[in-house]
Amino acid sequence: MNWQIELADSQATVALGRQIAQSISEALCIFLHGDLGAGKTTLTRGIVQGLGHQGNVKSPTYTLVEPYQLANWQVNHFDLYRLADPEELEFIGIRDYFGPGQVAVIEWPEKGAGMLGKADLTITLTYQQEARMAQCCADTPAGERLLNQLLS
Ligand code: ADP
Ligand code: MG
């Protein structure tokens, strides 16, 4: 299942993230693809704030992962841009970040190839002049349920 939407500005990107958050009803893994500056962290901000986080959301570039313990979910925001070797994910105890009650949002998942599970939802952000395009693809039944909820 596929769906795409044009995002006119960064507020639209945050709004999509908040909409995704409102549609989350089970543990989930979301992969975010896109070039530097495409809006992955901005989208994550919408998801994390939509799940109840009050403050800012910045990319956890040096720590690889930033966990947010929220009312109903623990959201684990990964940015793997600087990951030199997927094996490094062993050292941060990658498995502990996936499980019941946890939502994983992963920027640059391709850098962790072989060490990450399958995504439920893959979102690819691309430049459209000054704006962006988001392509959302459900890869599992959980991802389908989320997209169906989002579009209902
Ligand atoms: P990434 O994490 O993919 O590197 P960021 O989320 O940090 O990208 O966003 C980079 C810049 O793009 C930010 O200045 C952000 O405000 C801007 N931006 C995000 N979404 C949009 C959009 N839909 N249209 C225009 N600019 C956007
Ligand atoms: Mg980023």
d(CA 117, CA 119): 7
Exposure class string for 40-58: b at 16+ Cβ within 10 A, else e: bbbbbbbbbbbbebeeebe
Question: Is there a contact between 105 and 33 (Cβ–Cβ < 8 Å)?
Answer: no
> And the tokens for 53?
């986080």
> What is the number of the ligand 1 atom nearest to the C-alpha of 32?
3
Q: What tens digit of pLDDT does each residue of 52-102 get?
A: 999 999 988 778 999 999 999 999 999 999 999 999 999 999 999 999 999
Report the CATH number that the domain containing residue 123 is assigned in CATH: 3.40.50.300
| Tens-place pLDDT, residues 93-150 | 999 999 999 999 999 999 999 999 999 999 999 999 999 999 999 999 999 999 999 9
Check if 36 has its Cβ closer than 6 Å to any atom of ligand 1. yes
**Cα(27) to centroid of ligand 2, in Å?**
22
Residue 107 pairs with which residues in a beta bridge?
Answer: 32, 79
Q: How far apart are CA 127 and CA 132, in angstroms?
A: 5
Instruction: Write out the residue range of the structural domain in which residue 44 sits.
Output: 2-151
Total tally of structural domains belonging to the chain:
1
Q: How far is the CA of 79 from the centre of ligand 2 (A)?
A: 7
